[in-house]
Amino acid sequence: MDVHAIPQEGNRTLGQHRKAIYAKDASGRMVIVPSRGSEMEEIVTLQAVARMDHFAQAARRLAANGLTSPLEYWMWEKRMDVALLSQVTGIWQWRIRRHFRPAVFARLSPRLLWRYAEALGLNLNELTTLP
């Protein structure tokens, strides 16, 4: 890539940050240049964010109607899936899925709730309610 071809159209997912890209200057040397980011990167990042948000909002609606537990909402909200939450908490995936049932979730021991809260960076009160 040439220095003048470095994308500078801006990528709002970068916030105030800029990313470094190597490109060829006029004398043919590869130099490092800060980039404001490209639309292409913004699109794929927002696509991934939107996918997680979509799952979170769907879980939130279900939870509000008593069809799933707040745990599922918070899992997506914190950009995790069942496999990752299982890795982080050390709780088996089938158990986590079972804890998505509101009746089961309501009876969880404080110890288990604490493990979820810790993994998701929440306090117990937040974990058991919807925002």
The DSSP element (H or E) to which 1 belongs, if any, is none
Of residues 87 and 129, the one with the C-beta less far from another protein = 87
Residues 2-41 that bind another protein (CB under 8 A): 12-24, 28-32, 34, 38-41
Q: Is 115 exposed, middle or buried (0-12, 13-18, 19+ CB in 10 A)?
A: middle
Cα 15–81–91 angle (5° rounding)? 130
The pattern of x and - marking residues 37 through 76 that bind another protein according to CB under 8 A reads -xxxx-xxxxxxx-xx------------------------
Phi-psi region of 91 (alpha: psi -120 to 50; beta: other; left: phi over 0): beta
Q: What is the DSSP letter of 2?
A: B
Per CB under 8 A, the list member of 25, 57, 61, 83 interacting with another protein is 83
Binding interface with another protein (CB under 8 A)? 1, 12-24, 28-32, 34, 38-41, 43-49, 51-52, 78-81, 83-84, 87-90, 119, 121
